[in-house]
Structure 1
Amino acid sequence: MPFLRKIVVAVVASLLSGISGSLAADGIPSSAIAACTKLSQDPNFAHAFTGSPQYDHDISHWSNASSLPSLCTMEPSSPQQVQKLFSIINDTRSPWAVKGLGHCNNNNMSATYGLQIDMSRFSQISLSQDKQSVKVGMGVAWGQVYQVLGPHNLTAVGGRSPTVGVAGLSLSSGYSWVTNEYGFAIDNTLAADIVLPNGTFTTVSESHGGDIFRALQGGLNNFGIVTSITLKTHPIGQVWGGSLTISGDLKALVDATVEYSAKPSNPKATLAVEFLAKNGTATGLIIMFYDGAHPPPGLFDAFVKLPNSTGEVKTQSFFEFVQAGEVAASPTNRATWYSAPVLKWTRDMVEYVHQQVIEYSVKLAKQSKSGTLVSGNIEPFGPQAYGFSRGSAWPHDVDHPYNTFNGLMMWSDPSDDKALFPLNVEYHTKVWNKAISLGLSKPKGQVFFPPNYSQNITPVEQIYGANLGWLRKLKQQVDPWGLISLTGGFKI
């Protein structure tokens, strides 16, 4: 850490006042110094500075490329403390960020050089008496939700990895293993507890604060800090599924993917096919899911019978299925992903993705010192998945059932960041342009990207489309002071 930052943190941590604006060198805004000083003077705030375990936890992300060295961090434990935080932000105009569990892969979105807010103390999970809904704190992981609901033979529409946080996914779009059956996570919210920028703590739903409620369905952090969310529950029993890794020639995997994608969509089934490559050598990963003890004959047979495969598919509980799919990241993991809208997965499109993964794994090796992996993820969701929208901020509907191609690049050396973020954008742009040339996608302005799969260069018009009009008007009403503009994310 630069010497001056050490001085500033030491001064703030020791509760000294009168820090001059001249200490705002080294990229530390004087407003952040003022905010962190106020926090450190309140013994009720669980605040931290660099060098402490809490600080390390609060700034951490699944991808270290998304983390920033905040001046100080704070873990609020009640809506009243969030209200106090907004008061401090308003008084100081400090930059700030709010983080759930840190699966956001865009830096400067859930991270900041100023005041980092970590929501991990909002950890409640409460099933309603009639078991029709579950109220979940924004510091909870989806695996915890499934573990609580499982004994009641229930689930919620949520993350596909157990360590993904409820916060980011439920406020963005929310692809799930049961999206084909019940829609996206944002289609299954019933209410949200939120602290507005003016300090008001309220619960919004379709019947109360409906405009804000709709705006939170894809609007992320643009309208305040959500402390908990209430979700519909859905019945679930034993499920069938698992993953297989394919080595060697992947032609049979391409064939099986094309065959599956051409079938009528089964609402109870979900498939993810991922091509992964390192320095020109590719493997395949298949994850299959069926909401039932056994899938219909022929649905996944072509995948189960693939040669050169390892792994396991079986009947199990939903919680067991999700837990088995967790992929741990190394402590030095740095990663970025992006999306490209694709209407159908034809042979030309699937094979193009396969080849681009190989091509860009070679580019990754040439253009970086520490690049480890390139992936391309194909997820043939059915059109019915897009029919549950209630007029949310993020536009999605059954007439425009675009699947999201999602690709990932991974590396470990921070000095590679500058080259690899734009390389990943180039990679996805090629896939998108290929889909357009095949009549499987449309140009900018005619298709919309899900916010949680989008790079930070994506203009908000490309995410919210015509909804930007009412969203911007609502934001001006909710936040005329511009407090939300002091944080990162896709700013409406």
Structure 2
Amino acid sequence: MTRFNQIKYNPRERLVEVGAGLVWDDVYAALNPLGANVVGGRATGLGVAGLSLGGGYSYISNQYGLAIDNIVAYELVLPNGSVKTITNSSNAELFFALRGGSNNFGIVTGFTMKTYPQGQVWGGYITFTGDAAEQLKLATLKFMANVTDPKAAVLSTFGYTPTANTSSVNLLLFYDAPTPPASIFEDFLVIPAITTDISTRSFLSLVQAETTESLSGLRAVVHTVAVERYDETFLDSVLNETVFWGQKLGSSSSTFISYGIEPFITSILSHGSAYAYPPDRTKAYLPTNIYCQLTNVAKSSGQDIDHAALYTNYALFDTPLERIYGDNLPKLKQIKAKYDPLNIMGQAGGWKL
């Protein structure tokens, strides 16, 4: 029997069975009173299955890796109709393929995930006027240069709203404890803000602080640039492009442009081994949620990113599969042909092998 909409916690083994039909809010709400948490989505309304099959960056990824690093079993309905529990010991090749290989091998109806102790956290959202972009840029650069605490995370977003003809700047701060060390976020907190929603709260409350309701009914297209590091030249280009493209669209456009800067520590990929994604775990690239000509900017600063794998869940719809799976692509195609010879899963959306 599938676990499509179920959550079952095993405190002795510190594992939770999660139905693929749920959103992360459901999982956090169930685990919160139990003092437990999983590596999952960072915004309310995100589905468990999509993020978990594509990689999965989290606020606690600096400590525990990606979502796929913390999945120990999949409940999989194979294209022939049989239902199997896939683990590394029961079927190593499918286990490899499902960890980042998207929905190519059958319908995943449940995940068994590692859990971790979770108390209250500190953080929330801050919004600024557009003229705070330079200060936020400098604070972000200083944070990346000096902070190695895996409990700390920031997400700096630079955007432009053509209808208002103005830049938009916002920030997410996170610390996995009720109170952070005073020095970690001080450069962010001194920037004059429009709104501030920072508090000691539950992990669920922090995730629900980012709502996507304002985007309901709108189309969104995202892409990614995988970079080795953020430097001042790169972030200056981000600031310039938000204004250039925002003004190019004109005030009559309903389009909103956003560039998300997501610094993670270099050890983030040390929590897992070889999976479908990323194809190379020897170097952690930053899965920047942005686009335009920023690849060229990073390369001009000496970054070797020609073969950097693009993050599955951010990559644009027509991205060549080689740019996501690299040298793993031939192996994934072989596994796909073995378990889905009639290409049943080719009728579904997503990245198709």
Rate the CA distance shift 1:396–1:285 in 2: closer, same or farther, 3 A: farther
Please give the per-residue CA displacement for 1:334-363, whole angstroms capped at 9, x wherever unaligned: 111110011111111111111111111122
**Helix, strand or coil at the partner of 1:352:** helix
Please give the per-residue CA displacement for 1:212-241, whole angstroms capped at 9, x wherever unaligned: 011111111110000111110011111111
Q: Counterparts of 1:4-15 in structure 2 under 5 Å?
A: none
Rate the CA distance shift 1:129–1:263 in 2: closer, same or farther, 3 A: closer
Q: Counterparts of 1:464-475 in structure 2 under 5 Å?
A: 464-475=325-336
Q: CA deviation at 1:266?
A: 1.7
Out of 165, 171, 179, the position equivalent to 1:294 is 179
Runs of 5+ unmatched residues, structure 1: 1-77, 80-120, 408-427
Q: Does 1:282 align with 2:143?
A: no
Rate the CA distance shift 1:404–1:331 in 2: closer, same or farther, 3 A: closer
Q: CA deviation at 1:333?
A: 1.2
Q: CA deviation at 1:211?
A: 1.1
Q: CA deviation at 1:331?
A: 4.2
Out of 254, 261, 264, the position equivalent to 1:371 is 254
| Residue 95 (structure 1) aligns with | none
| Matched residues, number | 350
**Helix, strand or coil at the partner of 1:241:** strand
Contact 1:190–1:230 (8 Å) recurs in 2 = yes
| Residue 117 (structure 2) aligns with | 235
CA distance in 1, matches of 2:115, 2:73: 13
TM-score normalised per structure 2: 0.95
Q: Counterparts of 1:316-331 in structure 2 under 5 Å?
A: 316-331=201-216
| Residue 440 (structure 1) aligns with | 303
Q: Which amino acid aligns with 2:286?
A: N
Pick which of 274-283 and 460-469 moved more: 274-283
| Residue 84 (structure 1) aligns with | none
CA distance in 2, matches of 1:364, 1:298: 40
Contact 2:159–2:258 (8 Å) recurs in 1 = yes
Q: Which amino acid aligns with 1:447?
A: A
Q: Larger RCO: Structure 1 or Structure 2 (Cα < 8 Å, ≥ 6 residues apart)?
A: 2
TM-score normalised per structure 1: 0.69
Q: CA deviation at 1:142?
A: 0.2
Q: Which amino acid aligns with 1:463?
A: I
Contact 2:124–2:198 (8 Å) recurs in 1 = yes
Q: Does 1:225 align with 2:122?
A: no
Contact 1:192–1:226 (8 Å) recurs in 2 = yes
Runs of 4+ in 1 over 6 A off after TM superposition: none
Q: Counterparts of 1:158-169 in structure 2 under 5 Å?
A: 158-169=40-51
Rate the CA distance shift 1:331–1:254 in 2: closer, same or farther, 3 A: closer
| Residue 449 (structure 1) aligns with | 310
Q: Which amino acid aligns with 1:430?
A: Q
Contact 2:279–2:328 (8 Å) recurs in 1 = no
Q: CA deviation at 1:326?
A: 2.0
Q: CA deviation at 1:330?
A: 4.3
**Helix, strand or coil at the partner of 2:313:** helix
**Helix, strand or coil at the partner of 2:17:** strand
CA distance in 2, matches of 1:219, 1:359: 36
Structure with larger Rg? 1
Q: CA deviation at 1:131?
A: 5.3
Q: Does 1:142 align with 2:31?
A: no
**Helix, strand or coil at the partner of 1:387:** helix
Identical-residue share of aligned pairs (%): 37
Q: CA deviation at 1:270?
A: 1.0
Contact 1:265–1:381 (8 Å) recurs in 2 = no
| Residue 91 (structure 2) aligns with | 209
Rate the CA distance shift 1:248–1:391 in 2: closer, same or farther, 3 A: closer
Q: Counterparts of 1:55-454 in structure 2 under 5 Å?
A: 79=2, 122-130=4-12, 132-249=14-131, 250-279=133-162, 280-365=165-250, 370-395=253-278, 399-407=282-290, 428-443=291-306, 446-454=307-315
Runs of 5+ unmatched residues, structure 2: none
Pick which of 345-354 and 167-176 moved more: 345-354
Please give the per-residue CA displacement for 1:8-56, whole angstroms capped at 9, x wherever unaligned: xxxxxxxxxxxxxxxxxxxxxxxxxxxxxxxxxxxxxxxxxxxxxxxxx
